[in-house]
Amino acid sequence: MAFYDFYGYGKFPRYVPVAERRAKALKQARKLEKRGRVLEPVSLTGQRIASSFWGKEWCKNLESYMDFSNRLPRGRTYLRSGAVVDLRIGAGQIDALVAGSSLYEVSVRIGKLARKRWGAVTKRCAGHIDSVVGLLQGRLSETVLEALVDRRTGLFPAPKEIDFTSPARAPTPRCSAST
């Protein structure tokens, strides 16, 4: 089928309402569950996507780069509409099964923090820990927090350190029971 056969000459594809997309995704997800795949859907409570300090700082860091100016708003829309039907977070990798115009998998891989960078972070934080008890309770000084989230020298990766695999680069969805 030619491009213009599917879209029509000079036309856009038919708009698929969120409810229709979600129903289609649930149908496909149920098929996967019948074949043995255990799904972990994402449900959003309230308006905020990130509620913890780290989650908020992670989002703020990503939003500061133009590389993600299109991906982040689209991702939020998918999350809020219930289109993220499976989310797996592991060491250096995040995999999601997303219901768009079809059910597809998206992977995000983040490389390990370089030793040199980790050394610079620890050096910058040295002497700024108020107490071990406070540290164990999750309380960090403003100086330490600034060092950890600094855009250039902190713990968060730069765009070139993040690898996305999505339908644009991997057009065949991997939705088998073994995935």
pLDDT in tens, 132-149: 887 788 788 889 899 999
Whether the Cβ atoms of residue 167 and residue 104 lie closer than 8 Å to each other: yes
Residue 88 belongs to a domain: yes
Q: Report the alpha-carbon distance of residue 148 to residue 50 in Å, rounded.
A: 18
Confidence grade of residue 5 (pLDDT, cut at 50, 70, 90):
very low
The whole-number pLDDT of residue 167 equals 56
pLDDT tens for 14-43 read: 777 877 877 877 788 888 889 998 888 887
Question: Do 21 and 69 fall into the same domain?
Answer: yes
Residue 34 belongs to a domain: no
Range 48-57 average pLDDT? 86
Question: Do 167 and 107 fall into the same domain?
Answer: yes
Query: Which helix (DSSP H) or strand (DSSP E) does residue 77 occupy?
Result: helix 71-80
Domain count, the chain: 2
Question: Do 52 and 105 fall into the same domain?
Answer: yes
Which of 19-23, 48-52, 84-88, 93-97 comes out lowest in average pLDDT? 19-23
Whether the Cβ atoms of residue 105 and residue 39 lie closer than 8 Å to each other: no
Q: What percent of the chain has pLDDT over 70?
A: 85
Confidence grade of residue 118 (pLDDT, cut at 50, 70, 90):
very high
Asked whether residue 55 carries a pLDDT value surpassing 80, the answer given is yes
Q: In a 3-state reduction of DSSP, which class is residue 55?
A: helix
Residue 43 belongs to a domain: no
- Residue 64 sits in which domain range? 14-28+48-111+161-179
Question: Do 98 and 121 fall into the same domain?
Answer: no
Q: Which residue has the higher pLDDT, 108 or 17?
A: 108
Question: Do 93 and 179 fall into the same domain?
Answer: yes
Confidence grade of residue 174 (pLDDT, cut at 50, 70, 90):
very low
Q: Which two tokens stand for residue 116?
A: 């040199």
Question: Do 68 and 144 fall into the same domain?
Answer: no
Strands (E), the chain: 84-90, 93-99, 103-110, 162-165
Residue 1 belongs to a domain: no
Closest CA to 5 of 101, 13, 171: 13
Closest CA to 96 of 110, 83, 106, 104: 106
Q: Which two tokens stand for residue 75?
A: 């991702």
Residue 173 belongs to a domain: yes
Question: Do 24 and 63 fall into the same domain?
Answer: yes
Question: Do 55 and 76 fall into the same domain?
Answer: yes
Question: Do 64 and 22 fall into the same domain?
Answer: yes
Question: Do 24 and 92 fall into the same domain?
Answer: yes
Q: Which two tokens stand for residue 76?
A: 């939020």
Mean of the per-residue pLDDT values for the chain? 80
